[in-house]
Amino acid sequence: MALGALLIVLAFACVAVMSAFGKGATAVPTGTLVFFQNFISLVLFAPWALRGGLAELKTSRVGLHFLRAAAGLLSQVLMFVAVKRMPLVNAVLMSNSAPLFIPLVTWAWLRQRVNGLVWASLGIGFAGVVLILRPGVELLTNPVALVAMGAALFSAFALVSVNQLSKTEPARRILFYYFLFSSAAAAPFAIWNWKAPTPQEWLCLGGIGLTMSLSQMLIILAYQRAAPARIAPFNYSVVIFSGLIGWMVWRNAPGALALAGVLLVTAGGILSASFSGPKSLGHLGWLGYWNHRPVHGELA
């Protein structure tokens, strides 16, 4: 349990650093950011995915792989748009609030019943969202906070897709197709808006790809060492890391209302994951193995 929790905390530290790299590369087009994020990850994960030859990639669920990639890619695009335009901790928290949407997505898509405790948890979480959004005229003129919420909604769709894929597909195959499809989809936008990055921007692009890859590997390792239900609450360590980075680098300090909102969203997400039953055991980033049971020796 302790090692699994440590690995998840390290994974979400990587997610926070990745988001900070995206915020630091403000002048780089978003299409370029998501292309390098996924292409670097594809290059790093390909040897693992192909260790048994091309037969390892055989699948009868290409459509669901594509749906998962499309939802995950849209989530990433919206997340990078948000982190460039709002305080890092708010953008990262709201982009990672998928647990508030997962019960709604499973209800609409899979017709799974949402019990009263989950509805209460969602109410707590969305009350926190309201405190962070502070609805008013400013939100209509600058809807970037809604963009971050859109990232969470698409992330929820991606997570539910992975939940379905993980019944038949190993982690390496899901990751390979995600990075492959996402790289292919982002490439035209990266080419169309291409401009030569500065040395600092190249550092950010490389950092985004490396931290994305490392976070996914740490998540898989964590799942091999602890039950998802027990380590899911540690996902929200990303809020602490993002807050520290935002304060140290950009001097962003959340106000009292925003801080209260952060606490409510975090509580709502954790309670939602806890009360949703054995098929909804948590949210583990864009890999999304919230119901994954790793195959023995999968990383061997």
| Residue closest to 72 by CA, chosen among 165, 200, 191 | 165
d(CA 280, CA 264): 20
Q: Tell me if 295 is assigned to some domain.
A: no
Q: Tell me if 297 is assigned to some domain.
A: no
Task: Say which amino acid occupies 81.
Answer: V
Q: Tell me if 47 is assigned to some domain.
A: yes
The SS3 call for residue 285 is coil
Which residues of the chain have a pLDDT value below 70?
135-141, 227-229, 276-300
Q: Tell me if 293 is assigned to some domain.
A: no
pLDDT per residue as tens digits for the range 75-85: 999 999 999 99
CA distances from 209 to 39, 101, 132, 268, 290 (A): 7, 27, 29, 30, 23
Q: Classify each residue of 138-153 as buried b or exposed e, where b means 16 or more C-beta atoms within 10 Å of its C-beta.
A: eeeeeebbbbbbbbbb
pLDDT per residue as tens digits for the range 227-257: 666 777 787 888 889 999 999 999 888 788 8
d(CA 294, CA 101): 24
Q: Structural domain tally of the chain?
A: 1
Q: Tell me if 231 is assigned to some domain.
A: yes
Q: Classify each residue of 200-213 as buried b or exposed e, where b means 16 or more C-beta atoms within 10 Å of its C-beta.
A: ebeebbebbbbbbb
Describe the chain by its helix, strand, coil percentages, rounded to 5: 75, 0, 25
| Residue closest to 181 by CA, chosen among 160, 197, 161, 156 | 161
Task: Say which amino acid occupies 155.
Answer: S
d(CA 256, CA 240): 16
pTM above 0.85, yes or no: yes
Task: Say which amino acid occupies 266.
Answer: T
d(CA 279, CA 123): 21
d(CA 43, CA 24): 24
**Residue 255's domain spans which residues?**
2-275
Q: Tell me if 33 is assigned to some domain.
A: yes
* pLDDT (0 to 100) of residue 140: 56
How wide is the angle at C-alpha 168 spanned by C-alphas 163 and 172, nearest 5°? 80
d(CA 181, CA 242): 28
* pLDDT (0 to 100) of residue 287: 43
Q: Tell me if 27 is assigned to some domain.
A: yes
d(CA 57, CA 276): 32
* pLDDT (0 to 100) of residue 90: 87
d(CA 174, CA 34): 18
Q: Tell me if 67 is assigned to some domain.
A: yes
